[in-house]
Structures are given as C-alpha cells and as structure tokens.
Amino acid sequence: MYMPNASTIPREQLISRASEIKMIPTLHTIADRVFSVLDNSNSSFNDLSDIVRYDQAITSKIISIANSAYYSRGIEIFNLQRAMLTIGFEEVRAIVTCILLMDGIMKLLKLNEEDLLSLWRHSIEVACAARVLSERLMLEDPQKAFTASLLHDIGRIIFYAFSPEYKEMQDKAKPGTDLAALEREHFGIDHQETGHIIAVKWKFPADFAKVVRNHHKQLPDAGDGLLRLVAASDRFFTKEPGGISPEGMILDRERDAIAFEVKKIMKFMQLDIR
C-alpha cells in the first residue's frame, strides 16, 4: 500500500515533473560521438542514424518532433530514419546541442552517468531481444520493435532525476521483483505512468505510448503484437514472474546471440571500456 514518508517525493510532484520535462539527458560518450559526426563534413546521414538509433534521449526527441503537427500531417512516424529525414539534419543538430547543454542541469538532478548507463544498457538489451523475437515470430517490423523497446522505460528517468531514494530502493530489491509495483508502493505512481505522461506530451505514436504504459502488465492478448514483444523481452531480462512463455523460450535459445549483439553495440558506442 502507498504510504509515503516525509522524505518521499509525492506522486503529484512526479506527475508534474513528467509533464514539464522537455528533454532527457544522454551519456557523455554518446553525445560526443553524435557531435563529431555532425561536425565532420564527410559524414553521411547513415553515419548519424547509426549512432542515434541506439540512444533514448535523441531517438525520443526525434520521434517526438517528427510526430508533431508541423511535420507529421497526421501520419504517425515510427521509423527513426524516416523521422530523421522528415525533420532534417539541422533539427537533429539542435536536439543534440540541447542534450549536451543539459550536462549542467544533470548535475543539479539526482541523475548520474552510472544510472543512465545502466538504464541505457537495459534498454539496448530489451531492444535487441525484441528485434530477434519480432524476426522469429514474424510479428511487427523488427526496427519498430527495436525503437519501441529503446523507449519503453523512459519514465524511469523521472524517478532517477527527482527522487534521491529511488536508486537505493532499486538496489535493495531482490532480482525478479516487479519494479513497477515497488514504485507504486513507494511513490503512488510507477514509471509506466510517468513514461506515459511523457509519451503523450511528446506525441509519441500511439503504439509506442501503449508500450510505455503497459509493458509490466501481464502479457496481453495475441492482438497486441508490439506490446507482447517488448513486454516478453523486458521480462526475460528482469526475470519478473510471468511463467514460461513461448517468447521466453525463443529468447532463451537466442541468449548468446543477443548478448553478442549487445556487446557489439556497446563497443560501437565506445561504452564497453567502462
């Protein structure tokens, strides 16, 4: 049951933080890499999207802007490359500049590089797994599954950034604990709800917003392809209870291939030496 103590940030405050946030921070290494690509006149559009597609902060903002009324003309854009082409090189540069400027702000928040890195790594793991599942089950577009997974836990940023006790709460939790339930107990709200506030405010496509809102709920029915892929992949890594699912069995067989892919991405992003 939700029983906040005096030092706990209340639900209402987390809601308003989630409504107000305009940008989420990224890791130094990633921002530096994107900038060096933008500054190099020999870089191609593909060089840029190769890096951006592995980053929550930049991807979320690009998807958000591409789906704003100004650019989208009512058609939802899920595909990151298409979103980047829609908004253009200069807009991407502006986004990365803003994110870099956030470095100073980050110091004021409770967020640190270590938290960001662990969230980033988790999101990449889920994204790689969901892409494999999508291919094996021939369900949804694998790229869409990847991007949706990269963004699924975006609501956790709000807790990391504004609650000093969040990390401790998480560290103390046993493996397999339902993190969302634990958050609801402590704060009266979970990261699915804070994430959904961001997803709606930032005009994510409805399918992405649905994944953000529901990925900890018990596996949805067969009709919900994208949500099923992300929820099963997330559960595979968090080891939250949910029984042995066909998706879990596929992922178990592909465990090494997924780990290899994650390692490859970490190396590519130069995050493997940390």
- Which residues contact Fe ion by CB under 5 A? 153, 234
CB of 127 to Fe ion, least distance (A): 10
Give 82 or 239: the residue with its C-beta nearer to Fe ion. 239
Name the residue with tokens 């029915």. 221
Give 140 or 153: the residue with its C-beta nearer to Fe ion. 153
In this structure, are residues 78 and 205 in contact, taking their beta carbons and an 8 Å threshold?
A: yes
Give 72 or 170: the residue with its C-beta nearer to Fe ion. 170
CB of 179 to Fe ion, least distance (A): 6
CB of 162 to Fe ion, least distance (A): 17
Give 33 or 216: the residue with its C-beta nearer to Fe ion. 216
CB of 159 to Fe ion, least distance (A): 11
Residues 6 or more apart in contact with residue 252 via CB below 8 angstroms: 236
Q: Which of 87, 91, 84 lies closest to 45 in space, CA to CA?
A: 84
DSSP state letters, 14-56: HHHHHHH-------HHHHHHHHHHHH-TT--HHHHHHHHTT-H
Give 86 or 192: the residue with its C-beta nearer to Fe ion. 192
Residues 6 or more apart in contact with residue 103 via CB below 8 angstroms: 25, 28, 31
SS3 per-residue string spanning 69-106: HHHHCCCCCCCHHHHHHHHCHHHHHHHHHHHHHHHHHH
Distance between CA atoms of 244 and 221, rounded to whole angstroms? 16
Give 75 or 181: the residue with its C-beta nearer to Fe ion. 181
CB of 215 to Fe ion, least distance (A): 5
Helices 142-151 and 113-137 sit at what angle, rounded to 10 degrees? 150
The dihedrals phi and psi of 204, each to the nearest 5 degrees, come to: -65, 150
CB of 235 to Fe ion, least distance (A): 9
Give 55 or 153: the residue with its C-beta nearer to Fe ion. 153
CB of 155 to Fe ion, least distance (A): 8
CB of 126 to Fe ion, least distance (A): 6
Distance between CA atoms of 1 and 83, rounded to whole angstroms? 42
Distance between CA atoms of 203 and 58, rounded to whole angstroms? 15
Give 43 or 214: the residue with its C-beta nearer to Fe ion. 214
Strand positions, DSSP E, 90-183 = none
